[in-house]
């Protein structure tokens, strides 16, 4: 048994362990730099080289990168908020008040989540405007435009489902508007509202469904489409240039 650490150390000295983790040399050449991107599970979604116009702020507005950054902020702050929130009609509002008055840095955490959500809606919308006015939706990028449209829809849904979670008067009446709109759908209004809100009026079922959608279903779908979005940008030759 004592020989095992010695054997491991010998393999480390021989570089076997290093080569098993990194299948390329130090990225000091163009070849190794490319291999560092291709063999990394996160970096391979991005191109090895980036064109100069793709880094020009007056052209890109950095709205795509800012949207992704805000999504990461929302994921982190939302995960931390889950430790202090219970999705029940009895405790939801009091948990939010405890976050503001009892939990250390709780109000800062909640405000970071709330303002990041508002910011993401704005940046995604501005990103779509930039893509439209620069013609970046044209072939061969029309599929990625559809993916981006779906991401904007999911962003709105994430914001809407999170609106109900505080379970205060503002949230209840705001979501009631959406509930009445769903009920007004011709022919299938009652069925649609029952499916989305879990009943024919806002209550515990609606809160629980919105919570599951907000913290599980919608973030997973958004993260999946973001990965496809980045991958398609690479496969389409990077960010389109000025017309």
Tell which phi-psi region holds residue 61, choosing left (phi > 0), alpha (psi between -120 and 50) or beta.
Answer: left
Cα–Cα distance list, 156 to 100, 159, 189 (Å): 25, 5, 21
Percent of the chain with pLDDT over 90: 57
122 with 63: CB under 8 angstroms?
Answer: no
Quick one: residue 238, left, alpha or beta (phi over 0 = left, psi -120 to 50 = alpha)? Answer: left
Distances (CA, A) of 86 to 123, 203, 209, 218: 30, 15, 13, 19
- Rg, Å, the chain Cα set: 24
CA angle 56, 60, 63 (to 5 degrees): 130
Residue 213 per-residue DSSP state: I
Position 32 scores a pLDDT of: 82
DSSP state of 203: S
Domains located in the chain, CATH noted: 63-235 (1.20.810.10)
Furthest-apart CA atoms within the chain: distance in Å:
76
Lowest mean pLDDT among 31-35, 144-148, 163-167: 31-35
Residues ≥6 apart with Cβ < 8 Å to 123: 63, 66, 67, 70
pLDDT tier at 12 (50, 70, 90 boundaries)?
low
Residue 107: pLDDT over 70: yes
169-183 and 189-197 helices cross at what angle (nearest 10)?
150
109 CB contacts (<8 Å, ≥6 apart)?
77, 80, 81, 99, 103
Query: How far is it, in rounded angstroms, from Cα 108 to Cα 95?
Result: 15
Report the pLDDT value the prediction gives residue 212, as an integer from 0 to 100. Answer: 97
* Mean pLDDT value of segment 146-170: 96
Closest among 224, 225, 235, 242 to 140, alpha carbons compared: 235
- pLDDT for the residue numbered 144: 96
pTM over 0.75: yes
**The pair of three-digit structure tokens given for residue 184, joined into one six-digit string:** 């007004």
Q: What pLDDT, on a 0 to 100 scale, did the predictor assign at position 4?
A: 57
Percent of the chain with pLDDT over 70: 90
């Amino acid at each position: 048994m004592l020989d095992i650490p010695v054997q491991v150390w010998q393999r480390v000295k021989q570089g076997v362990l290093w080569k098993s983790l990194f299948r390329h040399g130090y990225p000091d050449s163009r070849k190794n730099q490319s291999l560092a991107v291709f063999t990394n599970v996160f970096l391979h979604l991005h191109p090895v080289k980036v064109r100069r116009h793709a880094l020009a702020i007056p052209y890109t507005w950095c709205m795509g990168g800012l949207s992704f950054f805000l999504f990461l902020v929302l994921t982190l702050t939302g995960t931390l908020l889950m430790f202090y929130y219970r999705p029940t009609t009895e405790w939801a509002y009091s948990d939010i008040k405890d976050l503001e008055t009892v939990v250390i840095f709780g109000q800062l955490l909640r405000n970071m989540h709330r303002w990041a959500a508002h910011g993401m809606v704005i940046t995604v919308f501005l990103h779509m405007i930039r893509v439209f006015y620069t013609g970046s939706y044209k072939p061969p990028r029309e599929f990625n435009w559809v993916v981006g449209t779906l991401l904007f829809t999911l962003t709105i849904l994430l914001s809407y489902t999170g609106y109900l979670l505080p379970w205060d008067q503002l949230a209840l009446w705001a979501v009631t508007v959406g509930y009445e709109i769903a009920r007004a759908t011709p022919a299938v209004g009652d069925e649609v509202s029952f499916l989305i809100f879990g009943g024919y009026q806002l209550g515990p079922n609606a809160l629980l469904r919105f919570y599951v959608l907000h913290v599980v279903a919608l973030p997973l779908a958004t993260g999946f489409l973001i990965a496809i979005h980045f991958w398609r940008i690479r496969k389409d030759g990077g960010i389109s240039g000025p017309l």
